[in-house]
Amino acid sequence: MNIVIQNILVFTSLAIAIWFLLRRFGVLPKKKTASSKACGQDDCGCH
pLDDT per residue as tens digits for the range 1-47:
799 999 999 999 999 999 999 988 887 776 666 555 556 566 666 65
So what's the pLDDT on residue 17? 96
**pTM here?**
0.55
How far apart are the C-alpha atoms of 14 and 38, rounded to whole Å? 33
So what's the pLDDT on residue 32? 63
| Number of structural domains found in the chain | 1
41 located within any domain: no
Considering all CA atoms of the chain, what is the largest pairwise distance in Å, rounded to the nearest integer? Answer: 59
Distance (Å) of CA 30 to CA 40, 42, 43 = 19, 18, 19
43 located within any domain: no
Full residue range of the structural domain in which residue 19 is found: 1-28
So what's the pLDDT on residue 10? 97
Distance (Å) of CA 44 to CA 1, 7, 9, 29, 38 = 54, 45, 42, 16, 9
So what's the pLDDT on residue 15? 97
